[in-house]
A and B are shown apart, each in its own frame.
Chain A
Amino acid sequence: KNEVEQSPQNLTAQEGEFITINCSYSVGISALHWLQQHPGGGIVSLFMLSSGKKKHGRLIATINIQEKHSSLHITASHPRDSAVYICAVWGSGSRLTFGEGTQLTVNP
């Protein structure tokens, strides 16, 4: 079992839908990152959080440390949101451990 599990692996939505991507982890962590990988391959950081909730535009990230779970929400989804979303945790090994990613496709 991977230390970081994401669900679903693939997600297809219609433009305007509310989207949730989940991340569960099995180790103690000090921080959790959400990243976006564009179709061209580039990776950008969306959020870093250690507790609670963060919001940036239409994106919201939450974390529940006790339940070892995080969610990434996208409100009013748009085709330009189509990408791979990656969860990564910063554990005791002083490095990021990454999930396999969730492929999101938003159709117009």
Chain B
Amino acid sequence: DAGITQSPRYKITETGRQVTLMCHQTWSHSYMFWYRQDLGHGLRLIYYSAAADITDKGEVPDGYVVSRSKTENFPLTLESATRSQTSVYFCASSESIHGLYEQYFGPGTRLTVT
């Protein structure tokens, strides 16, 4: 199906475990983004990517790793999960980094770290 998908939609993991959240888009958009959404905060940018093999840090990158070997995929890895990483994670994609280009959001992954 066309669009942007995330998997899993829900994940419960234990402190210290590695977990990877997947994001896949079918539009061949150059730009992809990872955000986290927490109560009391707006969406905050974790990492973004301008193209395959090009990634850059956002506002809250600590504890996260990303890769982008293919244009359509942008996985986010928590190398050693902590309780503070309990959050809802959204992936998004866009044709351009210019402000007047729409960002298309995935459905979100709700991650709980126990």
- Rounded to whole angstroms, the CA-CA distance of A8 and B50 in the bound complex is 35
B62-97: CB near A (< 8 Å → 1, else 0) gives: 000000000000000000000000001010000001
A residues in contact (CB < 8 Å) with B: 2, 4, 29-31, 33, 41-45, 48, 50, 86, 88, 90, 94-101
| A90 contacts across to B, CB distance below 8 A | 99-100
- Chain A residues near B110 (CB, 8 Å)? 41
Tell me if B's interface is mostly helix, strand, loop or mixed: loop
* 8 Å CB interface, B9-50 against A: 33, 40-45, 48
For residue B103, CB closer than 8 A to chain A, the reply is yes
Quick check: A31 and B42 within 8 Å, CB to CB?
no
In the complex, the answer to whether A95 meets B58 with C-beta atoms within 8 Å is yes
In the complex, are the beta carbons of B102 and A88 less than 8 A apart? no
The total of chain B residues at the interface (CB under 8 A) is 24
Interface SS of chain A: strand
Given A95-B58, A96-B45: A29 touches B40 (CB 8 Å cut-off): no
On whether A98 and B42 interact (CB within 8 A), knowing A29-B99, A30-B99, the answer reads yes
Contact yes or no, A41 B100, CB < 8 A: no
Tell me the bound Cα distance from A88 to B42 in angstroms. 9
